[in-house]
Amino acid sequence: MILNLKMLTPPAHEPLTLAQVKQHCRVTIADDDSLLSDIYMPAARELCENEMKRAIYAQTWQLTLDHFPLYPWWNNTQRSTSIHEAWHYSTFWKAFRIKLPRPSLVSVSSISYLDMAGNEQTVNPATYKVDTDGTPGCVVPVYGKSWPYADAYLPDSVKITYVAGSYGDGATVDTCPKLVKAAVLLLAAHLYENKSATTDLKLIELPIGVTRLLTPYKVTVMGYEEN
């Protein structure tokens, strides 16, 4: 399945405070405060999220597809609900499912698509189930329903807007593991202390300590690659 993924709204809070990062970096002056808070801290968090394939705090994403998966030819108005139809639904359930990258899934804001006339329509939330417990979370039509036809596989015909965040919003709820925060801290310090792309030091793309800290929280099974 061809997909595109983009962030619409970043998290409102970072895993670390400016004071924590400055203490770790042994910075006592305020000259670099904006550099740390506006650049290095968000960059370190984004690098960790990319490594884990996981959203740390609540943020809004949009997944764009060229079409809905597997329109069920067997589901039509001529066939009443039956054991035969139930068998088909259970057989094709995984094919109907749309997995949403960057777990954990918090909520789905909307699912829209271009109909066969090219007009944008919104899928009725009553016709699909949102699974926020799985890793990753997903949406799937409820029993007896199916995904609608989109506009003849036109690119970007389907758009799913949703909120993702594994460890709360960072303010009222903050369950971010200490290992993840430590990884963000190490990366923020690494970026701050190595400001040049050219150096005599032997630098690596991602410090090995960061990789090990994040390993328990990495999402490894998605079924497709993010573009």
What does the alpha-carbon distance between residue 170 and residue 11 come to, in Å, rounded to a whole number? 8
CATH 3.40.50.300 describes domain 13-52+170-217: no
The CA distance from 38 to 206, in Å, is: 20
Residues 6+ apart with CB under 8 A from 22: 28, 33, 36
Tell me what pLDDT residue 194 has. 83
Read off the DSSP letter of residue 217.
Answer: G
pLDDT of residue 227: 37
What per-residue confidence (pLDDT) applies to 181? 97
Q: How would you class 212 by CB atoms within 10 Å of its CB: exposed for 0-12, middle for 13-18, buried for 19 or more?
A: exposed
Q: What is the mean pLDDT of each run of 10 residues along the chain (227 residues)?
A: 83 97 95 96 96 97 89 46 48 81 97 91 96 94 85 83 97 97 95 72 65 92 49
pTM: 0.84
What per-residue confidence (pLDDT) applies to 90? 61
Note the pLDDT tens digit of each residue in 89-143: 566 677 788 999 999 999 999 999 998 888 999 999 999 999 999 999 999 999 8
- In this predicted structure, what is the pLDDT of residue 35? 95
Cα–Cα separations (whole angstroms), residue 83 to 52, 70, 124, 168, 176: 42, 20, 26, 41, 45
Domain extents in the chain: 13-52+170-217, 59-164
Whole-number Å distance between alpha carbons of 186 and 180: 10
Q: Any bridge partners for residue 111, and if so which?
A: 160
